[in-house]
Chain A
């Protein structure tokens, strides 16, 4: 502790000394550099297209699989279809009430793990969670650790199914940052599509460490969404 304490003192002192030494050059330098404008650029988008459509098309663009349903019953059917298709042996669910309710309606031979341990999650085929928010401009899901136990369920299984309430879709990163800062969770994870890499000859490969497949089921009560 004493070592790092003296390191702290020395580093801060060095910062102050060097900044002080720079002052005589700063004036001349600043005169030659025009101050920046305060407005930052924002994502281009077509205002006429609704948040949900923008979210969906941006998620599609990064190989996420998004479908829009109108109520819980349809959401359960959507999950049922994915499960029938993938035939998983084990499904892990987060501690969200909505997810637990939905999974109870699913007809499957798979073992459903509620509150799975770290070790169990390594062997799960599918993880089901919600997302607290979503960002339309990039097709991004926002997972807050303070509101749902989804950190590992959304990460370890090769397939992640996420159920999203359309009311929680916001337009921009700026809006999302403002919302989550309010009651900041210890971990917030932004997820935009399935895991990817292009480390080998810049060739895109999906699913290197995180989920290979990301299904997003959006529940929207607007009929024309």
Chain B
């Protein structure tokens, strides 16, 4: 299930549907996180107002992103942090490698960060002989199994306890067990020795506060605290969209993110790090480096619909709520970010050419929009991307060819609009369709012989019922019966 690509989404999804063990795991996810979320959002008095406020803060930030980033970097530098800018993933990897080389380090620990997954940082480091150790339990499992995360919050959700136990027996030499506490303790013991020797710690960032230059990272396990406290050098990778204006704004996001992500009122730990320690003998790293990464993000600012993607706080609620994700899981998307948010972010980050199927991996039911803590209109984004695909942007077709290509389609819609605006013609059209459909559609399916003759209908009705014209239209019923009734 690991090396799937977005290009083969249809096949990936079909294979996933046959994986009963995966579907059991997903069922568990939906029930646990979905229901916990529903309960815990009742513990704030106005969830809607909170979501609106969060979105407002994000919109304000994104509209002046350049200013807030400059304010953030100024304040972080004042507190002793070093700021790096990276246009793309390659530049991030180069910066990280240079920082590791600068202190001749070989022992690198990592806490969970989707941004580092996005740019395949581990591969880049491994190619240079550095083996970073993932320390989040889920990420460590995935690393040991040489797989990729299938969920942005619980990366190993697709694996059973039995599979994890077998993996630990093989890789760490423990006795066979089915006790989650034993497995967890094994991870603690093995990873403690890694932490003890770690020279560099790499983390992500949940929020960067412009007003103070603070970065905030949330977690439950404590591995982020260890990663950011023990090694001499701390490197934090931060997407440019992670900045928020005010320290007080954290209040809003700390109420939204844990509730939406894991159904908790607050995660166990929050680390708020502002620059470096003040005295040499104090606790914490000597150096704090923050890498600000664009990697396709600034492009999304160019339209209000796509700009919304940058409001995402990576809670994963849309994954848990999505009827498509619920059935096929994360790997089928063939991308680092799965689910509804992945279906809109991945094509924007990596281009539509190889991700054309993703914006269609949705029934547009709107469940994602409903649960999104920052009210991202994901269905609108999916439609926006579908429009780009239809316009041929994915294939790099020129505007001229696009007009030509769409000539037939436009003619059909012109005709359609001509008919629908004239009631006599419309009525006549309905009668005509009723007559002709008899030969073509039966019980919602295209008649077998006709499927090939009427190409769109054949493909369409393979998975869906074809809409049939009713035996009597409402207009006819009205004229013949209803208008004569006087109650």
Residue A48 is within 8 A (CB to CB) of chain B in the complex: no
Residue B465 is within 8 A (CB to CB) of chain A in the complex: no
Return the contact of B214 from the options A184, A197, A203 (Cβ within 8 A). Answer: A184
Residues of A contacting B70 in the complex (Cβ-Cβ under 8 angstroms):
12
A174 to B274, CA, bound (A): 19
**Stretch from A34-42, A71-79, A83-91, A102-110 contacting the other chain:** A34-42
**Stretch from B217-225, B399-407, B444-452, B476-484 contacting the other chain:** B217-225
Residue A145 is within 8 A (CB to CB) of chain B in the complex: yes
Residues of B contacting A97 in the complex (Cβ-Cβ under 8 angstroms):
none
A187 to B187, CA, bound (A): 26
Residues of B contacting A40 in the complex (Cβ-Cβ under 8 angstroms):
46, 49-50, 53-54, 251-252, 255
**Cβ < 8 Å to A, chain B residues 250-279:** 250-252, 254-255, 262, 265-278
Whether B277 pairs with A205 at a CB distance below 8 angstroms is no
> Taking A14-B299, A18-B298 as contacts, is the C-beta distance between A196 and B180 under 8 angstroms?
no
Residues of B contacting A173 in the complex (Cβ-Cβ under 8 angstroms):
250-251, 254-255, 266
Whether B267 pairs with A177 at a CB distance below 8 angstroms is no
Residue A193 is within 8 A (CB to CB) of chain B in the complex: yes
**Stretch from A22-30, A162-170, A215-223 contacting the other chain:** A22-30
Whether A39 pairs with B49 at a CB distance below 8 angstroms is yes
Whether B212 pairs with A195 at a CB distance below 8 angstroms is no
Residues of B contacting A29 in the complex (Cβ-Cβ under 8 angstroms):
304-305
Residue B382 is within 8 A (CB to CB) of chain A in the complex: no
What distance in Å separates the Cβ of A180 from its nearest Cβ neighbour in chain B?
8
Whether A62 pairs with B65 at a CB distance below 8 angstroms is no
A19 to B192, CA, bound (A): 46
Whether A19 pairs with B65 at a CB distance below 8 angstroms is yes
**Stretch from B135-143, B321-329, B342-350, B360-368 contacting the other chain:** B135-143
Whether A186 pairs with B269 at a CB distance below 8 angstroms is no
Whether B221 pairs with A25 at a CB distance below 8 angstroms is no
> Taking A21-B302, A36-B55, A195-B220 as contacts, is the C-beta distance between A42 and B160 under 8 angstroms?
no
Residues of A contacting B252 in the complex (Cβ-Cβ under 8 angstroms):
40
Residue A138 is within 8 A (CB to CB) of chain B in the complex: yes
Chain B's closest residue to A178 (CB) is: B248
Whether B184 pairs with A197 at a CB distance below 8 angstroms is yes
Return the contact of B180 from the options A21, A137, A201 (Cβ within 8 A). Answer: A201
Residue B354 is within 8 A (CB to CB) of chain A in the complex: no
Residue B181 is within 8 A (CB to CB) of chain A in the complex: yes
Whether B137 pairs with A200 at a CB distance below 8 angstroms is yes
Chain A's closest residue to B230 (CB) is: A118
Whether B225 pairs with A22 at a CB distance below 8 angstroms is no
What's the tally of chain B residues with a CB closer than 8 Å to chain A?
102
Number of A-B contacts (CB under 8 A): 255
What distance in Å separates the Cβ of A132 from its nearest Cβ neighbour in chain B?
13
Whether B265 pairs with A138 at a CB distance below 8 angstroms is yes
Q: Give the one of B138, B272, B304 with max A CB within 10 A.
A: B272
**Cβ < 8 Å to A, chain B residues 141-193:** 141, 154-157, 159-161, 164, 180-181, 183-185, 187-188, 191-192
Q: Give the one of A25, A140, A209 with max B CB within 10 A.
A: A209
Residues of A contacting B301 in the complex (Cβ-Cβ under 8 angstroms):
15, 18-19, 22
A123 to B464, CA, bound (A): 64
A149 to B86, CA, bound (A): 35
Return the contact of A207 from the options B160, B164, B184 (Cβ within 8 A). Answer: B184
Residues of A contacting B160 in the complex (Cβ-Cβ under 8 angstroms):
201
> Taking A25-B303, A145-B282, A178-B248 as contacts, is the C-beta distance between A203 and B221 under 8 angstroms?
no
Residue A98 is within 8 A (CB to CB) of chain B in the complex: no
A197 to B188, CA, bound (A): 11
Return the contact of B161 from the options A3, A146, A203, A210 (Cβ within 8 A). Answer: A203
What distance in Å separates the Cβ of B380 from its nearest Cβ neighbour in chain A?
10
Residue B44 is within 8 A (CB to CB) of chain A in the complex: yes
Q: List 16 A-B contacts (CB under 8 A).
A: A16-B66, A18-B300, A19-B66, A29-B304, A40-B46, A40-B53, A41-B44, A151-B283, A173-B266, A174-B248, A197-B184, A199-B136, A200-B156, A201-B25, A208-B188, A210-B225
